[in-house]
Chains A and B, each alone.
Chain A
Amino acid sequence: MTTTAPAPVAPPTGRTPTEPAPRRHRRRVTPGRMLGWVVLALLMIVTIFPFYWMLRTALSTNAALPGGAADPLPVGFSGEGFRRALGLATAQESLADGGSGASMDFPRYLLNSVVVATLVTVCQVFFSAMAAYAFARLRWPGRDVVYAVFLAGLMVPTIFTLLPNFLLVRDLGLLDTLPGIALPTMLMTPFAVFFLRQFFAGISFEIEEAAKLDGAGRFRTFFTIVLPMASPAVVTLAVLTYITAWNDYLWPLLVSQSDDSRVLTLALGIFRAQSPQASPDWAGLMAATLLAALPMLLLFLAFAKRIVNSIGFTGIK
């Protein structure tokens, strides 16, 4: 969201968040560290193995899968799953391979997903940051009460908000549109406000304090000092928000009705069991899932340094 480097403000205590991590001493290989590596390696394998299985299944042929269910290699090796996922196979080819025959306009769904996730992320993080700033850095009458009410929003079960929001989006004429899908989480989520407020409250912005600004000055401070200084937290939140928006299912399922607003997660539905007693198109589903996860992975890698380095929490209140 911001490209500015963290502001040259000295944090109050501890090491400077912007400073490179102190050079590690070359440590002796102790049994404890060995064990640590083993545990980490095991967790990595468990984490990554299902992805291998997805790839192996994506490269298999559906009709051969039941016969080779536990075969660690692709059964009936074929790239048809990926062709179906990309919408390159004809309906006839697709049906013949145990696919659904429904059309799959991958680039379009990808674009829809990008639009929705970007809309949600940029707006939600920005507006939530504004609110978090007011809760953390400004003193105003009723602040704590309003914040407590916001926090209570964390506890509202999603099932509660589903239908009223659907009716509202309908009344706004936004059914089957991308803004309709984005809207309910575009302005805030309690988690985003909570997360950023805790963060803002913990950092000492000395320039801001010194300036004792009010009115328009507050906005300038917010944009030029607070957001840049908080950028690691903001980016962490943004990436997590982006992934969450990308993977959302039930809400877009209600709002979207046609290709105009079909996002990737919904498009994956055409690879699921089409009738109650049928099997899913495993190869197509896994291929499409991998393809859908790819942009997220690239996004993460692009921002990884920023997320995991020098997040400057100095305390949670």
Chain B
Amino acid sequence: MSAETSTRPAPPARAARRRSQEVRNLPAALLFVLPAGVGFVVFFLWPTLRGIWLSFTDSTAFNTGGFVGLENYQRMVADPVFWNAFKVTIWYVLLNIGLQTVLAVVVAVLMHRLTQSMAIRGIILTPYLVSNVVAAMLFLMLLDYQLGFVNELAETLGGDRIMFFGDQSLVIPTIALVNVWRHLGYTALLLFAGLQTIPENLYEAGRVDGASEVRMFRSITMPLLRPYLGLVLIVTMIGSFQVFDTVSVATQGGPANASNVIQYYIYQVAFSRGYDFGYASAMSVALLVVLAVIAVVQFRLTRANQNDMA
């Protein structure tokens, strides 16, 4: 994570010199970091610390409660809805991120290898221009079992109607797909940026050696794209764990809790069933821990990749 030279051992004299240079840099560095630092402390750090504190209290939305120790956490461990929400969320993330990443790689590589067309890049990003809320409503209409165009089309083509949002086993895949639709362009563009750093002459050389596109994808594109993939995976996965709008608009967690994802459940507990901030905070802390573990693991993997490349 640190800049390239800092990991190399340096002779003692140079180290001392660098040390004093570092100290001399401090005022400028602090000035550079100050505005973002204020924003971070005020709008991220402080709310987080406050939330962690709340998770040990019986606070409601309207009243600051007293310290209750681990009570909220005990309740969480014993709450079947929480565990269900956790399971549902992980299933969602696997589907959403799995599909989205594969498709984004495909799209990015196709854009990179096939065409420079700006129109195609524009089109692929358009779904991101629509808000989550509207996207969810749109697909609710398109995928309606009885009245949706997609089912009408399926039937005309001789297939069976599919209960996208109404079937307990299909609802999460459906929501995952809706969000893949919306975020595919965003993800593909980030990866595309990475692809552009791959020197074209590697491909030229590959072609001279008679390598096929598939072969070049495997031995040139993938290895060099991996670090970018790592970055994109961290960011999209953290976002995916926090899926909320689509569920809130399209299914309200249903049918029968089959799409009650963790952030929706937390929101429900905090804002509509009992205004129980203490408990909602405890579940948020659990989510935070999960996200942190995932991020750390991924950072490790990304760094490992880097060694492959060196």
> Residues of A with Cβ closer than 8 Å to B?
13-15, 17, 21-22, 25, 30, 32-33, 36-37, 39-40, 43-44, 46-48, 50-51, 53-54, 57, 66, 69-70, 72, 127-128, 130-131, 133-141, 143-144, 146-161, 163-165, 168, 183-188, 190-191, 193-195, 198, 201, 214-215, 218-219, 222, 232-233, 236, 240, 243, 247, 249-250, 265, 268, 272, 280, 282, 285-286, 289, 293, 296-297, 300-301, 304-305, 307-317
Instruction: Report, nearest first, the 8 A-B pairs whose CB atoms are least far apart.
Output: A187-B39, A70-B152, A69-B147, A131-B36, A134-B32, A188-B36, A164-B47, A155-B291
Q: Which residue of B lies closest to A198 (CB)?
A: B231
Partner of A138, one of B25, B44, B144: B25
Set of chain B residues within 8 Å of A214, measured between Cβ atoms: 24-25, 28
CA distance A164 to B280 in the complex (A): 14
Residues of B within 8 A of A (CB): 1-4, 6, 18, 21-30, 32-33, 35-40, 42-48, 50-51, 61, 103, 106-107, 110-111, 113-116, 118, 120-135, 137-139, 141-142, 144, 147-149, 151-153, 181, 184-186, 189, 192-194, 196-197, 199-201, 204, 207, 212-214, 227-228, 230-231, 234-235, 238, 241-242, 244-245, 263, 266-267, 270, 277, 280-281, 284, 287-288, 291-292, 295, 302, 306
User: Are A70 and B147 closer than 8 Å at their CB atoms?
Assistant: yes
The 28 sampled A-B contact pairs (Cβ below 8 Å) are A14-B199, A36-B114, A40-B111, A44-B124, A48-B123, A50-B127, A51-B126, A53-B149, A69-B144, A70-B152, A138-B29, A151-B295, A153-B44, A154-B238, A155-B292, A157-B242, A158-B244, A161-B48, A184-B43, A187-B35, A215-B27, A249-B132, A268-B133, A272-B133, A293-B129, A300-B122, A309-B196, A314-B197
Residues of B with C-beta under 8 A to A37: 114
Cβ contact within 8 Å between A40 and B107: yes
Is the CB–CB distance between A141 and B22 below 8 Å? yes
CB atoms of A215 and B28 under 8 A apart: yes
Q: How far is the CB of B221 from chain A (nearest CB, A)?
A: 13
- Residue of chain B at shortest CB distance from A272: B137
CB pair A265 B131 closer than 8 Å: yes
**Residue from B204, B213, B228, B235 within 8 A of A316 (CB atoms):** B228
Residue in chain A with minimal CB distance to B280: A159
B72 CB, nearest partner CB in chain A, Å: 14
Pair A243/B129 contact, Cβ less than 8 Å: yes
Contact A289 B134 (CB under 8 A): yes
A312 to chain B, nearest CB (A): 7
